[in-house]
A and B are shown apart, each in its own frame.
Chain A
Amino acid sequence: MRRRAASLLLHLGLCLAALATLLPLWWMGVASLSAPGMAAGAPAWLPRHPTLANYAAIFTRLDLARYLLNSTLLASGVTAISLLLNSAAGYAFAKLRFAGRDRLFRGLLVGLVVPAQVAMLPLFLLLKELGLVNTYGGVLVPGMASIFGIFLMRQYALSVPDALLDAARVDGAGELRIYATVVLPLCRPILVTLGIFTFMGTWNDFLWPLIVLTDDRLYTLPVALANLMGEHAQDPELMMAGAVLTVLPVLLLFLALQRSYLAGLTAGALKG
């Protein structure tokens, strides 16, 4: 009897918490499908006068297709390049023997305590000198490698058996070839995890693109959305459609790959 009461209470609490967690996202969807002016007043559970007009409008009137393209290109580019660079360095730190390796790695880890914001002011001046301010390159370049990514790759690459690498060496394979054909396939799980992290991180990033992009044709979705929020404060339904468009790609990516995402998250944290 007590057990059933406890179970009931627990699930009641879980359901209420789930409801509270989903409510803002649900309401975002409902409002984005409501006719203009309908989202005002009491929030509804279902859209009143459902319409796709807001979605049509964000593409025709607000040109969100361009921002969607910018975000997609930048997040994909940063992800691809950083996976390549971080995995190469992580593997070298884990498995290749050279003088001063562990000292260099420990020195690198010290950088983890420095917040990215400290680097941003001189980074902006540096990129300005290089002519990269207000270009895709300006957003891309600082994300091409990360200490955390190298760390995560190294921890995983440590588990690659040395015997396998030595066997490949005896077979006459060059070191770069071993990295590409032996190590990378074995590191697939961590590459997927780090890839999702990087893609989502770049997609959701706000401060740096806000700083380095001044031309609204290059804006990423979050920067464009923040900019439109002021102008279109009177069109909540329109802004909600923009918000859905921004959130949906990463939500779907997470739902599709959540197993490797969550596994990587806990592995990274526990080893850290």
Chain B
Amino acid sequence: MSAAGAPAADAASAAPVLAVRERRAARWLLAPALAVIAVFFALPILAALALSFTDFDIYALGDLHFLRFVGLDNYGELLASPRFWTALRNTLVFTLVGGPLSVAVSLAAALAVSARLARFRAFFRTVFFLPTVTTLVAVAVVWRYLYHPREGLLNQMLATLGIAPVDWLGDPHWALPSLILLAVWKNFGFNMILFVAGLQAIPAQLHEAAAIDGASAWRGLRDVTLPLLAPTLVFVAVMTAIGHLQLFAEPYVMTGGGPSDATLSIVLLMYEEGFRWWNMGQAAAVAFVLFALILVATAVQLRWARGPAR
């Protein structure tokens, strides 16, 4: 935090009037942004915690006199609710299977476009990045037809291979994997760009030295590239996990959380409880479960990053 350089500090102490002016300017420049964040972000977060200890529902929405303090009842009810456990399970599967898969595809794409033999790198990079700037709801329109049991491209491709059609979004076993595939397609380009930047930061001499020592491409990747890429890998893993834990739009538009809750996620549960049934106390408890999951994911992965040094 050596933001204010030493020479400038001398100039300021030489002119206290300027220092006062600087303080006043700082106040004016900071006030609007900090006020917005305080009122529309910080305050609601604290209110959400309070809300999760109340039975705020549709009656309280009409008249606050119906509001009662219920302590930890909302959390207790969640733990006793099978739908909550379903949502938690689906979210964790989406995160723990979809997340690593997404990171692996990103890494493979980054290694391919960064390979010394690769040509037209900028073209491939742009193509792979395109899905990440698209609107999820819009591409969901297409993917719903790709997954269509009769007319969808996926099943027609399977048919040419002689494989029986799969009801991708209608079969409880396939619905969540289908959303994972959509998410990988939609997001892998983003992490790929971060990996490409990380790969560029590795000095070329290291690869050359490994090659001269007779290391195979595989060993070069395992012993030189991946260890040096570790900081990027950790950052990408944390961000991907956090993004996956917030799963919402995919099930909302593709499956509505079905079939039979097979794609119900934590955030979708929060949305339904809070904004469809107006059980806002209950929904706030769900929101804090999400918060806790994100904290745990961050802590685990940061720890793993520092972990046993190789």
Contacts and interface: CB of A to CB of B under 8 A. Distances in A.
Interface of A: 3, 6-7, 10-11, 13-14, 17-18, 20-25, 27-28, 31, 39-43, 85-86, 88-89, 91-99, 101-102, 108, 111, 113-126, 141-142, 144-147, 150, 158, 162-163, 165-166, 169, 174-176, 179, 200, 203-204, 206-207, 211, 221-223, 225-226, 229, 236, 239-240, 242-244, 246-247, 250-251, 253-255, 258, 262, 265-266, 269-270, 272
Interface in B118-147: 118-119, 124, 126-131, 133-146
Contacts of A10: 112, 115, 117-118
A121 B274 contact: yes
Contact of A145 (B36, B137, B249): B36
Contacts of B232: 269
Contacts of B36: 85, 141-142, 144-145
A265 B22 CA distance: 32
A232 to B, nearest CB: 10
Contacts of B44: 118-123, 126
- Greatest chain B CB density within 10 A among A20, A88, A96 is at A96
B42 A89 contact: no
A160 to B, nearest CB: 10
B80 interface: no
Report, nearest first, the 6 A-B pairs whose CB atoms are least far apart.
A175-B25, A122-B47, A89-B33, A119-B44, A266-B197, A243-B138
A251 B134 contact: yes
A13 B112 CA distance: 8
A222 B280 contact: no
Given A20-B185, A117-B290, A119-B41, 9 more contacts: A10-B118, A27-B142, A93-B30, A98-B23, A113-B295, A114-B45, A144-B33, A145-B32, A162-B8
Contact of B135 (A166, A174, A247): A247
Nearest to A88: B29
A111 B275 contact: no
Contacts of A96: 22-23, 25-26, 29
A7 B235 contact: no
Query: Interface range on chain B: under 10, 10 to 19, 20 to 34, or 35 or more?
Result: 35 or more
A28 B137 contact: no
Contacts of B218: none
Given A166-B11, A176-B25, A266-B193, A102 B1 contact: yes
Interface in B1-16: 1, 3-5, 7-9, 11-12
A169 B18 contact: yes
The residue in B9, B29, B117 that gathers the most chain A C-beta atoms within 10 A of its C-beta is B29
Interface in B83-142: 109, 112-113, 115, 117-119, 124, 126-131, 133-142
Contacts of A39: 145
A10 to B, nearest CB: 6
A242 B142 CA distance: 11
A179 B29 CA distance: 9
B137 A225 contact: yes
B194 interface: yes
Given A24-B146, A92-B30, A229-B253, A18 B117 contact: no
Given A11-B118, A108-B37, A121-B280, A95 B4 contact: yes
A13 B156 CA distance: 22
B288 interface: yes
A115 B247 CA distance: 12
B288 A118 contact: yes
B270 interface: yes
B127 A22 contact: yes
Give the most central of A28, A119, A141, A144: most B CB within 10 Å.
Answer: A119
A217 to B, nearest CB: 18
Interface of B: 1, 3-5, 7-9, 11-12, 18-19, 21-30, 32-34, 36-37, 39-45, 47-48, 51, 61, 109, 112-113, 115, 117-119, 124, 126-131, 133-146, 151, 153, 156, 185, 189-190, 193-194, 197, 232, 235, 242, 245-246, 248-249, 252-253, 267, 270-271, 274-275, 280, 283-284, 287-288, 290-291, 294-295, 298
B113 A14 contact: yes
A183 B119 CA distance: 40
Contacts of A24: 131, 139, 142-143, 146, 185
B197 A270 contact: yes
Contact of B127 (A18, A116, A253): A18
A135 to B, nearest CB: 15
Contacts of A150: 33
A14 B112 contact: yes
B114 to A, nearest CB: 11
14 contacts: A92-B29, A97-B23, A101-B26, A115-B246, A118-B290, A121-B283, A144-B40, A145-B34, A145-B37, A162-B5, A174-B21, A207-B249, A243-B138, A247-B134
Nearest to B115: A10
